[in-house]
């Protein structure tokens, strides 16, 4: 009997993950699980733990590189109305983990709820944004979070206050947890003006970074203290360096762009090369911001 007996309707085998990530590369998930509601998700998690099935949770796939061999385990993809709901109640937004993050910002601005516009140009889901504490030079999502509802390492439904989540630079303490939803506290303000700010930030990113439509996962490395990784990579002469179908962006050295004939190995080898060159030039050990599966 397979481990997913009873879950046949929501588990598919050997599903190519390239279709679910921004990089559009890499191999399949041995099992791909699409739970229809939170109880089904909790039951899956309990089964994984009982049967020692390695698992991962996928949001919008905007920060993930899947290896060419794929992932020899179960990938959970929580999508559909239950996971994507967004509700507004005065200054509070209650959003499911599967909700599209840029769309959530747009909806908040339409409600004249402002604040999140500083997070313009960050693709993916609310769950991924919370897990990564997504952000940039104007702020991070953690500063808006009131509570996070999640399935913890024991498959228990729990609600954690923001200060229990350990929000730090591209970091939370949510390893092995599944974010189900979040409450965000915004401010009542002028949605039109905030939308203007949103557009300015998008324009700024269009000027300094590769096009949003390019195949990438955003920044490859975290910024070490007090210096942008992009500058270190640029000064190490890495802009435009190419391995196979992967190239360090000529516009921003902390982005690796994938072209048609790319493999995950090309991207991973380029990451290793870039890391090594920066280590040799500066002694600084860059740490990946992308998640490698
Ligand atoms: C063009 C481009 C620009 C980008 N710019 C930025 C930027 O300015 N700032 C920034 O911070 N990031 C940026 N990113 C990276 C990415 O957008 C963020 O990390 C985003 O928050 C990832 O969300 P996701 O839903 O795609 O997560 P995924 O890529 O699917 O997953 C990322 C991590 O979160 C985990 N995860 C996903 N959903 C859940 C959940 N429900 N519960 C628990 N864990 C979960 C995954 O297991 C994985 O470890 C950029 C990416 C691209 C492609």
Kindly give the distance from the C-alpha atom of residue 2 to the centroid of ligand 1, in angstroms, as a whole number: 31
Active site (annotated) includes residue 249: no
Pocket mutation for ligand 1, best pick of 103, 123, 258 (most atoms within 8 Å of C-beta) = 123
pLDDT at 246: 98
CATH topology of domain 211-282: 3.90.78
Ranges of the chain whose pLDDT falls below 70? none
Q: What is the DSSP string of the chain?
A: --TTTT-GGGEEEEEEGGGGSSS--S-EEEEEE--SSHHHHHHHHHHHHHTT--EEE-SSSSSEE--TT-EEEEEE---SHHHH-EEEETTEEEEETTSBHHHHHHHHHHTTEESGGGGTT--SBHHHHHHHT-EETTEEGGGGEEEEEEE-TTS-EEEEEGGGTT-BTTB-S-TT-EEEEEEEE-EE--HHHHHHHHHHHHHHHHHHS--TTSB--S-SBPPPTTS-HHHHHHHTT-TT-EETTEEE-SS-TT-EEE-TT--HHHHHHHHHHHHHHHHHHH-----B-SEE-
Kindly give the distance from the C-alpha atom of residue 128 to the centroid of ligand 1, in angstroms, as a whole number: 4
pLDDT in tens, 151-191: 998 889 999 999 999 999 999 999 999 999 999 999 999 99
Kindly give the distance from the C-alpha atom of residue 124 to the centroid of ligand 1, in angstroms, as a whole number: 5
Pocket mutation for ligand 1, best pick of 101, 134, 137, 213 (most atoms within 8 Å of C-beta) = 134
Catalytic residue among 170, 197, 251, 279: 170
Residue spans of the domains in the chain: they are 8-76, 83-194, 211-282
Pocket of ligand 1 (CB under 6 A): 22, 56-64, 97, 121-125, 127-129, 131-132, 134-136, 174, 178-179, 212, 216-218, 291
Active site (annotated) includes residue 291: no
pLDDT at 3: 92
Task: Indicate the class that CATH gives domain 83-194.
Answer: alpha beta
pLDDT at 141: 98
Active site (annotated) includes residue 170: yes
Task: Indicate the class that CATH gives domain 8-76.
Answer: alpha beta
Query: Which atom of ligand 1 lies nearest, measured to the CA of 134?
Result: 11
């Amino acid at each position: 009997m397979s481990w997913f007996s009873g879950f046949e309707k929501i588990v598919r085998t050997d599903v190519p993950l390239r279709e679910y990530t921004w990089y559009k590369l890499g191999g399949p998930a041995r099992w791909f699980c699409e739970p229809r509601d939170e109880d089904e998700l909790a039951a899956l998690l309990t089964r994984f733990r009982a049967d020692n099935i390695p698992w991962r949770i996928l949001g919008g796939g905007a920060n993930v590189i899947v290896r060419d061999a794929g992932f020899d385990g179960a990938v959970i993809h929580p999508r559909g109305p239950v996971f994507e709901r967004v509700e507004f109640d005065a200054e509070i937004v209650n959003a499911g983990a599967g909700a599209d993050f840029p769309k959530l910002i747009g909806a908040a601005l339409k409600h004249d709820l402002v604040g999140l516009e500083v997070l313009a140009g960050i693709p993916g889901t609310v769950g991924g944004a919370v897990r990564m504490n997504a952000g940039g030079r104007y702020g991070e999502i953690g500063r808006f979070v009131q509570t996070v509802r999640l399935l913890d390492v024991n498959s228990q439904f729990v609600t954690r206050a923001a200060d229990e989540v350990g929000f730090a630079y591209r970091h939370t303490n949510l390893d092995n947890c599944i974010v189900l939803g979040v409450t965000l506290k915004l401010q009542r303000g002028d949605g039109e003006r905030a939308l203007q700010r949103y557009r300015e930030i998008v324009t700024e990113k269009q000027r300094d970074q590769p096009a949003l439509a390019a195949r990438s996962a955003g920044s490859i490395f975290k910024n070490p203290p007090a210096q942008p990784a992009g500058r270190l990579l640029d000064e190490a002469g890495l802009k435009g360096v190419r391995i196979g179908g992967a190239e360090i962006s000529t516009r921003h050295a902390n982005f690796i762009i994938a072209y048609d004939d790319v493999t995950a190995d090309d991207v991973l080898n380029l990451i290793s090369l870039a890391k090594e060159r920066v280590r040799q030039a500066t002694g600084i050990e860059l740490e990946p911001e992308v998640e490698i599966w």
